[in-house]
Structure 1
Amino acid sequence: MIKIASSKNPETLAALQEIATALQGITPTLVVVFYSSHHAAQQVADQARKVWPQSQSLGCSTSGEIISQEMMDGGMVAMAFDAATIPEARVAVVDDIGDAAKIKSVCQSLGDVLHADIDQYIGLVLMDGMSGKEEFFLDHLGNLTDLRFIGGSAGDDLAFQATTVFANGVVYDHAALLAVLHAPAGIRVIKTQSFCKTGKTLTPTQVDASGRQVLQFDGKPAGCAYMEAVGASSLEEAAKRFMSSPLGLMDGEEPYVRSPQTFDNETLKFYCAVSPDIPLDLLQSTDILTDTRNALATTNADGKVAGILLFHCILRTLELKSLNKTAEFSGLFTVPTVGFSTYGEADIGHINQTATMIAFLE
């Protein structure tokens, strides 16, 4: 059984109590809570531990919460799994997301489950969304496990100051949370980017990888090169195209999206790292609703879905808001679904403007 609940109560303890009441009738092995940064993270962690003492409890702060049929701001959502759905969840925290030795040590502590059957085991990862270290962390993690880790970077309601993750009563920053979930009925991973190639490419020839900045594309100042590629007459006009015309590292026809964030004179800063000398395709946005509807239909045809954890890029959320389509998007999720608007998504690596989802089968 999977149950979900939400609260719009601005008082943290009251919101948790509303959620606990709604989740009565299930004895959970795992409870996942996503909460607005306006809530007190330590109170969320403490209360979750108190209400579900026999359960693993974990979660993170958001830039918007998602539950079946609704996209929220300033609220709290939760998903509870019973032993029939998730008989075991192993949870570990790397308390310094940028420390390779700690990543290795924590992965060793999880044991051989990191090399378990990928048809029944899935990794969940939640990371500090202001750390700037997601690429480093996921690269190291990928070398230490055979499992696919899906998740996202915590948000803080677009303040871009500080985010939090928590596990079993303890709140962390500059950290990454790992949970290995055993789902005997099976798992499916859903990923939608809602972009297509334009036929134009830009190759980063000078980068500041640690700062997620591109100084030059194809030997030209990055700002000028991007402006020309999108057909803009000024940097200001080009900046308005960031959301609809990001760049993508292509794997066949599948883009791993790199979203521009800001111009700093002629330097282009991205929401995730860009590697030098690897061509990037200029992308054009397609329809989020159509792509999501099709992806969900494909997954449902492959097996009946009991519930979905959804990690949805904040840029996609902002696009849906600008089009007044948040209700239509959330309405696509007719099975129990909980998620949040992220500062970056995880699927093998760190990506942008993507929805990554874990679908648990019945």
Structure 2
Amino acid sequence: MGQGTRMRAHLCGIRTAWTEAVSPRTAAAEIARAVGPGMVQIVLFFSPHYDPETLLRALEAELPGVAIAGCTTSGNICPEGGLDRGLVAIAFPDQGFRIVSTLLDGIDDLDVERTASTVRALRRSLNPHGETVPERCFALSLIDGLANAEETVVSGIAWALDGIPLVGGSAGDDLTFRDAVVLHGGRIHRRAAALILVETDFPVQIFKSDNFEPTEKKFVVTASDGERRIVHELNAEPAAREYAMAVGLDPEGLSPMSFAAYPLAVKVGGEYFCRSIRRLNPDGSLSFFCAIDEGVVLTLAEPRDIVAATRDELARLDHALGGIDLIIGFECVLRRLDAESRQVRQGIADLYRRFNVVGFETFGEQYRAMHLNQTFTGIAIGRRAE
């Protein structure tokens, strides 16, 4: 392994490795040496600074016969903390895991029926000779976060999975909002989603964790472009000005840090889910990471202790599984910005080291049939085979 490459072998047989090598060919070679032989599927999260085609071809040369799926990120997560550059790889063995995957393309104009048919066929292929037990399975979604299609994709997938729990993340490109890609089937894809379906002999549990509390301050979306995720008016006033007045900021000075510190949430089925602002537009409108339709009521939320909230959820999972072996996690990039602004990112990194968290910082998170923001979702895998 290269000097900057690390590997961890987990009790379940999965190997995780991460590197900050600048060259995509060097990174591929180092990851291949780290995970070693005997792996059948690699899930890869990588910096948009790599040329994806060069990286993919190098990985295929280094790991012949191994299925590769992955996406670009806005930051990577490994047990050593956050990686602003580089890549993280999760290598699955053939023992203890059965894995199939598929690609959904053209997601900005998704045919829901065709998607459901594809997902059902994938589920049947996971266990062609018997019934699939949802409790022994989980699904991972990697979705182009610039296609503005996560809600449709996730609802279509979750419907067809018929009880198999789904978690995932939206591919990012740091915070440039120019180009996010998904890898699957030996090709680079845009406006697409990769779906990875896993059956395992080890106990698993999906989760979500956030760190905000709703306040009494409400906004009604009075003018919006739902397809483009742009809100023009809140409470019949220019959106940015109304939001800025509510949080005591100058509308001209709104930034990703502002949006991370003062999230908005929508109430669904008695529970609040975050709807994060992506950016301030020159005309005073606000672009969101989730679809926002006219008439939706948004609630201003206030943050609580992000370290304590994350620690409580990971401790709960640890107890439920009889010990966590590995967590594949998807964390909103705005959570990282919020943790940095409050100077508690090291506390989060300590938790990720303790509980073996690997994953990436996203433009959105998926949990069952929901597309979320400013949330930490994932799958926790236990140490002992059932």
TM-score (norm 1): 0.91
Q: Is the aligned partner of 1:246 residue 2:263?
A: yes
CA distance in 1, matches of 2:214, 2:168: 25
Pairing of 1:128-139 with structure 2 (within 5 A): 128-139=144-155
Unaligned ranges ≥5, structure 1: none
CA distance in 1, matches of 2:84, 2:262: 26
Q: Is the aligned partner of 1:142 residue 2:173?
A: no
- Taking a change above 3 Å as real, the CA distance of residues 62 and 159 of structure 1, as seen in their structure-2 partners, is same
Q: CA deviation at 1:270?
A: 1.4
CA distance in 1, matches of 2:238, 2:19: 48
**How many aligned positions are there?**
359
- Residue 336 of structure 1 is matched in structure 2 by 356
Which one of 86, 89, 96 corresponds to residue 75 of structure 1? 86
- Taking a change above 3 Å as real, the CA distance of residues 71 and 238 of structure 1, as seen in their structure-2 partners, is closer
Pairing of 1:137-286 with structure 2 (within 5 A): 137-146=153-162, 147-232=164-249, 234-236=250-252, 241-251=258-268, 254-260=271-277, 261-286=279-304
Unaligned ranges ≥5, structure 2: 1-12
Work out whether residues 152 and 346 of structure 1, in 8 Å CA contact, stay in contact via their aligned partners in 2: yes
Letter in 1 for 2:287: K
Q: CA deviation at 1:191?
A: 1.1
Mean CA deviation greater in 217-226 or 67-76: 217-226
1:299-357 CA deviation, whole Å, 9 max, x = no partner? 00101222111111111122233344433312212243311111111112222111111
CA distance in 1, matches of 2:154, 2:326: 25
CA distance in 1, matches of 2:195, 2:212: 29
Mean CA deviation greater in 248-257 or 76-85: 248-257
Letter in 2 for 1:89: I
CA distance in 1, matches of 2:270, 2:252: 30
Question: RMSD of the alignment, in Å?
Answer: 2.3
Q: Is the aligned partner of 1:315 residue 2:362?
A: no
Work out whether residues 201 and 282 of structure 1, in 8 Å CA contact, stay in contact via their aligned partners in 2: yes
- Residue 308 of structure 2 is matched in structure 1 by 290
TM-score (norm 2): 0.86
Letter in 2 for 1:136: T
Which one of 27, 50, 53 corresponds to residue 61 of structure 2? 50
- Taking a change above 3 Å as real, the CA distance of residues 262 and 47 of structure 1, as seen in their structure-2 partners, is same
SS, match of residue 141 in structure 1: helix
CA distance in 2, matches of 1:117, 1:249: 33
CA distance in 2, matches of 1:128, 1:56: 19
Q: CA deviation at 1:283?
A: 0.3
Letter in 1 for 2:331: H
Which one of 38, 44, 47 corresponds to residue 36 of structure 1? 47
Work out whether residues 69 and 327 of structure 1, in 8 Å CA contact, stay in contact via their aligned partners in 2: no
Work out whether residues 137 and 197 of structure 2, in 8 Å CA contact, stay in contact via their aligned partners in 1: yes
Which one of 9, 14, 17 corresponds to residue 26 of structure 2? 14
Q: CA deviation at 1:216?
A: 2.7
Work out whether residues 230 and 238 of structure 1, in 8 Å CA contact, stay in contact via their aligned partners in 2: no
Work out whether residues 169 and 363 of structure 2, in 8 Å CA contact, stay in contact via their aligned partners in 1: yes
Which one of 94, 101, 104 corresponds to residue 94 of structure 1? 104
- Taking a change above 3 Å as real, the CA distance of residues 342 and 201 of structure 1, as seen in their structure-2 partners, is same
- Taking a change above 3 Å as real, the CA distance of residues 85 and 208 of structure 1, as seen in their structure-2 partners, is same
Letter in 2 for 1:110: L
CA distance in 1, matches of 2:337, 2:42: 28
CA distance in 2, matches of 1:41, 1:266: 35
SS, match of residue 27 in structure 2: helix
